[in-house]
Structure 1
Amino acid sequence: MTDDKLIRMANQIAAFFVTQPGDAAVAVAAHLNDNWAPAMRADLLAHIAAGGAGLAPAVLAAAPAIRPAGQR
């Protein structure tokens, strides 16, 4: 999957959760951990490690709680 598509998808998830009560970063991380394939999470984390260009603040804030590939 391309970085552009991952960025768009992650930002759409973040846009939803910032409108909901509670901590958006926690909700974004939970959603990604529950619904994204390990390879998608790994690609997103690699993009974040490379600077995270284009990602919404809630996605960047969620990064520490996003499980890397191989972790459940």
Structure 2
Amino acid sequence: MDNQNLIDMANRIGDFFDSMPDREEALDGIADHIRRFWEPRMRRALLSTLDEPDANGVEMSGIVTEALVKHRDGLTPAALSTAV
């Protein structure tokens, strides 16, 4: 998964919601969009960039970082069940 592309896409989503006057609504909107429209692999990869000290020079916008941190539990895909 190309983390640079994921961060770029997340930043574009953040740019859209950043114009909202209600910051909490914007944060919720970013998280909701990512949860609803991004597949689990994409969400896992994007969330993993929060734990990396350097994302290869690609900077995540502040509003996206804030939304991901606030909604991390709800954005983290459930573990795949291996039980048969």
TM-score normalised according to structure 1 size = 0.84
Identity in percent: 31
Match of residue 2 from structure 2: 2
Summarize the alignment of residues 1-72 of structure 1 with structure 2, pairs less than 5 Å apart. 1-22=1-22, 23=24, 24-51=26-53, 53=55, 54-63=59-68, 64-66=70-72, 67-70=75-78
RMSD: 1.8
For residues 8 and 2 of structure 1, the distance between their equivalents in structure 2, rounded to whole angstroms, comes to 10
State the AA in 2 paired with 1:48. L
TM-score scaled by structure 2? 0.74
Q: 4+ residue runs of structure 1 moved beyond 4 angstroms?
A: none
Query: Tell me, what secondary structure is at the counterpart of 2:7?
Result: helix
Note the residue ranges of structure 2 that are not aligned, 5 or more in a row: 80-84
Q: Partner letter of residue 78 of structure 2?
A: G
Deviation at 1:20, TM superposition (A): 2.3
Equivalent pairs, count: 71
The structure with more radius of gyration: 2
Q: Unaligned stretches of 5+ in structure 1?
A: none
